[in-house]
Amino acid sequence: MQITNGVFLNKKINRRKFIKNTAIASSIAVLSSNISIKKLEAKKKINWKMVTTWPKNFPGLGTGAEIFAKTINKTSGGRLNISVFGAGEIVPAFEAMDAVSSGAIEMGHGGPYYWKGKVAAAQYLSAIPFGLTPYEQNSWFEKGGGQDIADKIYKKMGCKFFVCGNTGPQMGGWFNKKIESIKDFKGLKMRIPGLGGEVIKAAGGTVVNLHGGELLTSIQSGAIDALEWVGPYNDLAFGIHKASKYYYYPGWHEPGGVLDCFINIEKWNSLPKDLQNIVETSAKATTQEITNEMIAGNNVALKTLIEKHNVKLKPFPENVLKELAILSKKVMQKLISTDPLSQEVYSSIVKFRNDSIKRSKVSEEKFLETRSKFVT
């Protein structure tokens, strides 16, 4: 009986070991399978298209989109490959957001104010009149709550938002008549996008919405009387000086022009976390690269416009700037009164701007004033 029981007990113990070992083996197999799948996913190459609102390889803006794509491609080791298409190559400039929102295209590059017809609050992300400088804008997005607000706005368009460039402080625009009072804007047909355009409307002007490729022919033909594009670097590239008499400053309407990267939200959510991080860091790197190029390019181009092309550089009279500032505040208050999201983004920017004004008065503002006086 003991032997029989011993045999019985051994069989029972062996059966338990067998079941236990089988379970362990199965767990190891499942774990190995999961690791293999993850390794395959990590090696899997993802090919995306990016459409832009800029002409292909246009200085600073179009080339910036190319830099962004190349940075992602290189940093990801080719796992996320972005092909860039300029305005009109796949879709027209102003249809870029539709293509990305629908999922037909994975991502795009442009300017937030181009999408105000879809979500009014988007235009505040580009710039507000008498608003933030480029590095104040970057600080607001990073440390002032701007990224969260921008994501809320772009979610309504089915997209993820990133800052992906800045034009730097812009010029006041090209005119074929002198601007000596606020009344000179009355009846003026001007290409000026975003909130600056809303102020020009309030001053009695007519705003014409045109993308970059239409600017020169429009002012040459008389379809518009004046236009604002970006700054010397980009304006020279389009030859706008050939059809305009006066180049005004400062760019009161756009002291810094934010450029956006917008990604279809479903495509964004499908990316592995490490690739999401690569896209985010690449956008930050590209923002700095574009800003650097714009500043350096503007320095050279302004000198060329004045010395080689005899462009007449003119400041807006102080009385005009004062009236524009007063009008801007009234226009902004009216616009945000009917849209809570616009009110949220505008209020956040204004608070950050007011804090920055207090600081800049005793720092860069005073320094720049001093430098202009004593350094030749």
Whether residue 8 has pLDDT greater than 80: no
User: Residue 168 pairs with which residues in a beta bridge?
Assistant: none
Whether residue 287 has pLDDT greater than 50: yes
DSSP secondary structure string for all residues of 244-308 = -SEEEE--TT-SS-EEEEEEEHHHHHHS-HHHHHHHHHHHHHHHHHHHHHHHHHHHHHHHHHHHT
**Among candidates 215, 293, 287, 226, which has minimal Cα distance to 55?**
215
Q: How many residues does the chain have?
A: 376
**What pLDDT is attached to residue 88?**
96
pTM to 2 decimal places: 0.87
Share of the chain above pLDDT 70, in %: 89
Contact call for residues 126 and 113 (beta carbons, < 8 A): yes
* Burial per residue of 143-170, b for 16 or more beta-carbon CB atoms within 10 angstroms, e otherwise: ebbbbebbeebbeebbbbbbbbbbbbbb
Other C-beta atoms closer than 10 Å to the C-beta of 344 total 17
Whether residue 14 has pLDDT greater than 70: no
Task: Give the residue-averaged pLDDT of 2-20.
Answer: 49
Question: Which pLDDT band holds residue 213 (cuts at 50, 70, 90)?
Answer: confident
Whether residue 165 has pLDDT greater than 80: yes
Whether residue 209 has pLDDT greater than 60: yes
3-state SS class at 89? coil
**What pLDDT is attached to residue 5?**
47
**What pLDDT is attached to residue 4?**
44
**What pLDDT is attached to residue 44?**
87
Other C-beta atoms closer than 10 Å to the C-beta of 304 total 14
Task: Give the residue-averaged pLDDT of 106-126.
Answer: 97
Among 24-28, 255-259, 294-298, the least confident range: 24-28
Q: Alpha-carbon torsion 66, 70, 76, 77, what sign? A: positive
Question: Which pLDDT band holds residue 211 (cuts at 50, 70, 90)?
Answer: confident
Q: How far apart are CA 274 and CA 9, in angstroms?
A: 53
Tell me how many degrees the CA angle 78-84-60 measures, rounded to the nearest 5: 110
User: 300 or 25: which carries more pLDDT confidence?
Assistant: 300
Contact call for residues 97 and 118 (beta carbons, < 8 A): yes
**What pLDDT is attached to residue 7?**
44
pLDDT digits (tens, 9 = 90+) for 335-354: 999 999 999 999 999 999 99
Whether residue 372 has pLDDT greater than 80: yes
3-state SS class at 173? strand
Among 25-29, 111-115, 161-165, the least confident range: 25-29
Task: Give the residue-averaged pLDDT of 51-75.
Answer: 96
Determine how β-strand 107-110 pairs with β-strand 46-52.
parallel
**What pLDDT is attached to residue 6?**
46
Q: Average pLDDT over the chain, rounded to whole? A: 92
Other C-beta atoms closer than 10 Å to the C-beta of 366 total 11
Task: Give the residue-averaged pLDDT of 79-91.
Answer: 97
Question: Which pLDDT band holds residue 212 (cuts at 50, 70, 90)?
Answer: confident
Question: Which pLDDT band holds residue 17 (cuts at 50, 70, 90)?
Answer: low
* Burial per residue of 171-203, b for 16 or more beta-carbon CB atoms within 10 angstroms, e otherwise: bbbbbeeebeebebbeebbbbbbbbbbbbbeeb
pLDDT digits (tens, 9 = 90+) for 262-275: 999 999 999 999 99
Whether residue 36 has pLDDT greater than 90: no
Question: Which pLDDT band holds residue 82 (cuts at 50, 70, 90)?
Answer: very high
Class of domain 44-166+257-294: alpha beta
Among 56-60, 84-88, 302-306, the least confident range: 56-60
Whether residue 2 has pLDDT greater than 50: no
Q: Where are the domains of the chain?
A: 44-166+257-294
Task: Give the residue-averaged pLDDT of 81-91.
Answer: 97
